[in-house]
Amino acid sequence: MKAMIDKDLCIGCGVCPDICPEVFQMDGDKASVIVDAVPVPQETRAKQAAAECPADAIILEI
Ligand code: SF4
pLDDT given for residue 37 in this prediction: 98
Look up residue 36 and give its DSSP letter.
Answer: S
- Other CB atoms within a 10 A radius of the CB of residue 29 amount to 10
pLDDT of res. 16: 98
pLDDT at 49: 98
Give the pLDDT score at 43: 98
Candidate of 4, 6, 8, 11 to mutate for ligand 1, largest count of ligand atoms within 8 Å of Cβ: 11
Q: 14-61, pLDDT tens digit by residue?
A: 999 999 999 999 999 999 999 999 999 999 999 999 999 999 999 999
- DSSP 8-state assignment for residue 2: E
Q: Ligand 1 centre and the CA of 4: distance in Å?
A: 11
What's the predicted TM-score (pTM) here?
Answer: 0.96
| C-alpha span between 49 and 18 (Å, rounded) | 9
- pLDDT at 3 (0 to 100): 98
